[in-house]
Amino acid sequence: MATKITSVKKYMICMVCFSIMTLALVPTGCSHSKPVPVTQPSCPLPSGNFVDQAFDTARSTLSYNECKYQFDQVMDALLEVCEGTPSINNKKLFSDFLVWAKNQGIISTVQAKKIYTRYFTATFVSLSGDFQTCSLCPRIHKILSDCDQELEKKKSGLLKICGDKKTYAKASNDLKQISLILEATCKACEAE
């Protein structure tokens, strides 16, 4: 008798397992609809040899809210495309692009001015307004290092992208003079 109960229990367990497996395979009302894929907009970076097309791609990409965080990558890609085709007109293209990005709320007015100045003018963003005071002396090496890095950006922007040797030469000469002034100021401050 004990054998029959065990066999019955085994049979019932098998039937329950079979029922569960069968129910799992039976389609329900929800399983008939296909899941809708969530698509993210593509955020292509400007590339190629056509400058106007690169700026169009940049604006198109940054027009998507999901792509606005890629401004720095888009800007770097634009710089790279334009290095292949130097033209003084590239200054205006970058100026217009930065104004557009500011108007779209992607960057601030201050950011737009700093980016443009860093690459396309002889003025150094890395310097504060008054660089002839003793307060800068503890940071002189950092300031001059930042200016050297900025001169490299000006080399890219002014020489390689715009072919503007005159403005680059001015920036380079200005940095030499600023370095001399800063060093002389700090020596005078140390003497006091």
Domain boundaries, the chain: 51-120, 134-191
**pLDDT beneath 70, residues of the chain:** 1-41, 128-132
Rounded CA separation 150/6 (Å): 85
**What is the reported pLDDT for 6?**
57
**What is the reported pLDDT for 174?**
95
Instruction: Record the pTM.
Output: 0.74
Question: Residue 119: CB partners within 8 Å, gap ≥ 6?
Answer: 79, 94, 153, 154, 156, 157, 158, 161
> Do residues 97 and 71 lie in contact, with contact meaning Cβ atoms separated by under 8 Å?
no
> Do residues 40 and 66 lie in contact, with contact meaning Cβ atoms separated by under 8 Å?
yes
